[in-house]
């Protein structure tokens, strides 16, 4: 027995020693990550080189999700699903005045979607870079419409000899569910204010209404004209030639014997057809060779941004700043993560700007289809308070600032939009589905008693009661009247004048200017300058994006995410089932529209009062 106890005692001591050793190794690993994170915060830049930007995923005004989750995802080797627009524009503008950066290489293969106003912001930054006499080279294995808009801004556009340039224009197609809903026995009750408010059409029709067809055709044609004009100007092409390229693409491909790249070259859309290695050699000609990397002297976007941000902190102007609050995504109640607008969380950022004595003016950058009326109202009130504090507010519209997105812009001192911003959609709707007929088909019936006329009236397994429908209609009409009043006050017009151009109708930015819904056409930089002018700041001021503060741990892991990736790779982590991506690649295009629609209604269903100012006006 004594020997057995001694054995277990020694075993326990051995395990305790092992625990301490493992604990020490873990601390050493974390310390290594700290050192890597700190040392990697200001990377080394070549004395003469090129800035390389490779947008990954969609180009957005604000990254979606929690910062820590994004960092860990990237550390595992996953491609970023989004690239921040301001990261791209800040890096390009900083590089324009940086003597070490002699050229810009734009690679678009990993780029997803981007709204035309976002692409305009990028184009403006690239023009600024070129104005300094520096070369811009664009390269792609292929160019889809958004990718080509960006590539077209370069001095030299190179396409792979097996690539193509596809310009399908803009469209708006939606799924219509009426027949499916009828088969399921679901009743969808929608109440709206505004004859052009088309949110309910997929549930009550099999096709697009004449009203929606009219408004959609108008802003789609405006977007296509804006695209052709911008790209034509950049490539010195007649905008009509781009329309002819799109309309005659099939015939041109047949005549070229299927040589898609040759068709693009013949149309003057690209400078030349070149392989990756040939583009690499061209960059070596421009900025010199990097013998260690067997390529050209270069710095990546992320590394250059860290250096630029460090320099920016060193030259900050104390006490004179413009605060930028980004309102991007759908509007929901309460506090919401980045990439979604929360009534409380976005209002809190505006409050932070109002209470900061160094912030002298605010730019509210909006890219939103709207959502909860309550959330929009909370943000609206905070914008009013910022102005009441003597700080000018400039609303800057991105790709989409419609319905609730327009609601929060209304009280601003000045509203700027791109000519191709989708805005307006001043209208309100409410929706309640009921499933009593669905359950009845399964042999399930609901019956009972209540104490008031409203008892049980909110159950989704009973027919919608006339009293509830009347309440919803009155609430929607009241919200619409309030919406009109808010806009009329901000635009210095009567509610009747606003009602004539509201009714839920969507407008392109250039039409919104004509109708008085915006003050002038301009981008983000124009909005910043307008804010500085109104605040009388001259040219000596900072621009500070106001966002939730990261904890020390979150900031550390963000800085060290590259090191995490190397550790995981060394341990064999981050592996994925090879079959899943293959299946996803085949099924995703077919299921994506339905998935997006279901996800959208799931989010909107979380709005307690079910009253929404939302624009279903995205385009492909």
User: Looking at residues 545-555, what average pLDDT do you find?
Assistant: 68
Cβ–Cβ < 8 Å for 219, 419: no
**Active site includes 197?**
yes
Q: Are strands 135-140 and 414-417 parallel, antiparallel or unpaired?
A: unpaired
Q: Among 275-289, 532-546, 571-585, which stretch is predicted with the lowest mean pLDDT?
A: 571-585
Flag whether pLDDT at 54 surpasses 90. yes
Q: CB-based contacts of 173: which residues, under 8 Å, 6+ apart?
A: 620
Cβ–Cβ < 8 Å for 354, 597: no
CA distance linking residue 67 with residue 56, whole number of Å = 16
Cβ–Cβ < 8 Å for 198, 212: yes
Q: Which two tokens stand for residue 118?
A: 């976002």
Q: Among 10-14, 360-364, 442-446, 454-458, which stretch is predicted with the lowest mean pLDDT?
A: 10-14
Phi, psi of 193 (to 5 degrees): -125, 115
Domain definitions of the chain by residue range: 49-165+270-308
Identified catalytic residue from 134, 197, 265, 391: 197
Which helix or strand (DSSP H or E) is residue 360 part of? Answer: strand 359-372
What pLDDT does 567 receive? 45
CA distance linking residue 593 with residue 599, whole number of Å = 10
What pLDDT does 28 receive? 58
Q: Which two tokens stand for residue 268?
A: 């003057």
Q: Which two tokens stand for residue 532?
A: 């500085």
User: Looking at residues 420-429, what average pLDDT do you find?
Assistant: 92
Q: Which two tokens stand for residue 246?
A: 């799109």
Other CB atoms within a 10 A radius of the CB of residue 552 amount to 7
Estimate the crossing angle of helix 552-559 against helix 2-39, to 10 degrees. Answer: 70
CA distance linking residue 130 with residue 124, whole number of Å = 10
Tens-place pLDDT, residues 165-217:
999 999 999 889 889 988 989 888 878 887 777 777 888 889 998 888 998 99
User: Looking at residues 441-449, what average pLDDT do you find?
Assistant: 93
Selection from 126, 41, 91 nearest residue 301 by Cα: 91
Query: Residue 450: which pLDDT band, with cuts at 50, 70 and 90?
Result: very high
Selection from 195, 614, 246 nearest residue 424 by Cα: 614
Place of tokens 């995981």: 568
Query: Residue 317: which pLDDT band, with cuts at 50, 70 and 90?
Result: low
Q: CB-based contacts of 368: which residues, under 8 Å, 6+ apart?
A: 327, 328, 329, 330, 331, 341, 400, 401, 402, 404, 405, 408
Phi, psi of 220 (to 5 degrees): -65, -40
The torsion defined by the Cα of 281, 283, 285 and 289, in degrees rounded to 10, comes to -80
Q: Which two tokens stand for residue 293?
A: 């990397």
- Residue 416 CA, chain-centre distance (Å), reads 18
Q: CB-based contacts of 466: which residues, under 8 Å, 6+ apart?
A: none
Question: Burial letters for 604-615: b for 16+ Cβ neighbours within 10 Å, e otherwise?
Answer: beebeebbbbbb
User: Looking at residues 270-288, what average pLDDT do you find?
Assistant: 97
Tens-place pLDDT, residues 493-529:
999 999 999 998 999 999 999 999 999 999 999 999 9
Flag whether pLDDT at 75 surpasses 60. no
Q: What share of the chain is helix, strand, coil (3-state, %, to 5)?
A: 50, 20, 35
- C-alpha to C-alpha distances, 11 to 1, 5, 21, 22, 421, nearest whole angstrom: 15, 10, 15, 16, 71
CA distance linking residue 240 with residue 220, whole number of Å = 16
Query: Residue 586: which pLDDT band, with cuts at 50, 70 and 90?
Result: very low
Q: Among 60-69, 142-151, 419-428, 561-570, which stretch is predicted with the lowest mean pLDDT?
A: 561-570
Tens-place pLDDT, residues 282-292:
999 999 998 78
CA distance linking residue 284 with residue 188, whole number of Å = 62
For every residue of 67-102, DSSP letters joined together read HHHHHHHHHTTPPPSEEEHHHHHHHHHHHHT-TTEE
3-state SS assignment for residue 227: helix
What pLDDT does 582 receive? 40
Cα(first)–Cα(last) distance of the chain, in Å?
A: 78
Superfamily of chain region 49-165+270-308: 2-enoyl-CoA Hydratase; Chain A, domain 1 (3.90.226.10)
CA distance linking residue 53 with residue 317, whole number of Å = 29
- C-alpha to C-alpha distances, 494 to 402, 484, 488, 501, nearest whole angstrom: 20, 9, 5, 12
| Residues, the chain | 620
DSSP 334: S
Q: What percent of the chain has pLDDT over 90?
A: 63
**Active site includes 360?**
no
Identified catalytic residue from 396, 403, 418, 479: 403
């Amino acid at each position: 027995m004594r020997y057995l106890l001694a054995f277990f005692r020694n075993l326990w001591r051995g395990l305790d020693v092992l625990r301490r050793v493992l604990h020490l190794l873990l601390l050493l690993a974390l310390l290594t990550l700290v050192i890597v994170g700190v040392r990697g915060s200001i990377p080394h830049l070549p004395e003469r080189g090129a800035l390389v930007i490779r947008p990954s995923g969609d180009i957005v005004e604000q990254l979606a999700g929690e910062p820590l989750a994004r960092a860990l995802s990237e550390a595992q080797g996953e491609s970023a699903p989004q690239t921040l627009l301001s990261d791209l524009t800040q890096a390009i503008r900083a590089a324009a005045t940086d003597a070490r950066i002699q050229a810009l290489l734009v690679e678009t293969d990993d780029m997803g979607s981007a709204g035309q106003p976002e692409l305009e912001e990028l184009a403006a930054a690239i023009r600024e870079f070129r104005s300094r006499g520096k070369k811009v080279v664009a390269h792609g294995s292929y160019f889809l419409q958004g990718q080509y808009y960006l590539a077209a801004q370069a001095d030299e556009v190179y396409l792979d000899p097996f690539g193509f340039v596809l310009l399908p224009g803009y469209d708006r197609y939606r799924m219509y569910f009426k027949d499916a809903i009828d088969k399921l026995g679901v009743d969808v009750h929608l109440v709206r204010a505004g004859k052009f408010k088309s949110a309910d059409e997929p549930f009550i029709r099999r096709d697009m209404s004449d009203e929606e067809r009219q408004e959609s055709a108008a802003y789609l044609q405006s977007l296509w004209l804006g695209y052709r004009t911008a790209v034509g100007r950049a490539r010195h092409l007649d905008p009509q030639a781009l329309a002819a390229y799109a309309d005659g693409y099939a015939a041109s491909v047949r005549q070229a014997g299927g040589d898609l790249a040759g068709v693009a070259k013949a149309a003057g859309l690209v400078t030349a057809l070149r392989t990756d290695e040939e583009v690499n050699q061209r960059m070596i000609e421009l900025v010199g060779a990097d013998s260690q990397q067997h390529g050209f002297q270069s710095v990546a976007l992320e590394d250059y941004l860290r250096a630029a941000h460090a320099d920016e902190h060193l030259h900050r102007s104390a006490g004179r700043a413009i605060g930028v609050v980004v309102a991007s995504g759908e509007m929901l109640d309460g506090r919401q993560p980045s990439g979604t607008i929360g009534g409380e969380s976005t209002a809190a950022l505006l409050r932070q700007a109002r209470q900061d004595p160094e912030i002298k003016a605010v730019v509210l950058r909006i890219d939103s289809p709207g959502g909860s009326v309550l959330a929009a109202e909370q943000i609206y009130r905070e914008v009013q308070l910022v102005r009441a504090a003597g700080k000018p507010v400039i609303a800057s519209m991105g790709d989409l600032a419609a319905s609730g997105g327009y609601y929060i812009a209304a009280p601003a001192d000045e509203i700027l939009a791109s000519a191709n911003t989708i805005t307006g959609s001043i209208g309100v709707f409410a929706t309640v589905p009921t499933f009593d007929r669905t359950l009845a088909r399964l042999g399930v019936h609901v019956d009972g008693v209540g104490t008031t006329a409203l008892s049980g009236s909110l159950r989704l397994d009973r027919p919608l009661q006339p009293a509830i429908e009347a309440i919803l209609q009155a609430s929607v009409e009241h919200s619409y009247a309030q919406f009109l009043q808010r806009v009329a006050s901000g635009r210095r017009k009567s509610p009747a004048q606003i009602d004539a151009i509201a009714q839920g109708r969507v407008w392109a930015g250039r039409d919104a200017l004509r109708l008085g819904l915006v003050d002038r056409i301009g981008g983000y930089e124009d909005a910043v300058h307008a804010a500085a002018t109104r605040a009388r700041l001259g040219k000596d001021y900072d621009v500070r994006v106001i966002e939730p503060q990261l904890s020390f741990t979150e900031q550390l892991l963000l800085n060290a995410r590259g090191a995490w990736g190397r550790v995981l790779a060394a341990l064999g982590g981050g592996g994925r089932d090879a079959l899943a991506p293959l299946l996803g690649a085949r099924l995703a295009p077919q299921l994506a529209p339905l998935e997006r629609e279901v996800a959208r209604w799931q989010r909107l269903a979380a709005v307690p009062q079910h009253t929404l100012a939302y624009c279903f006006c995205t385009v492909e």
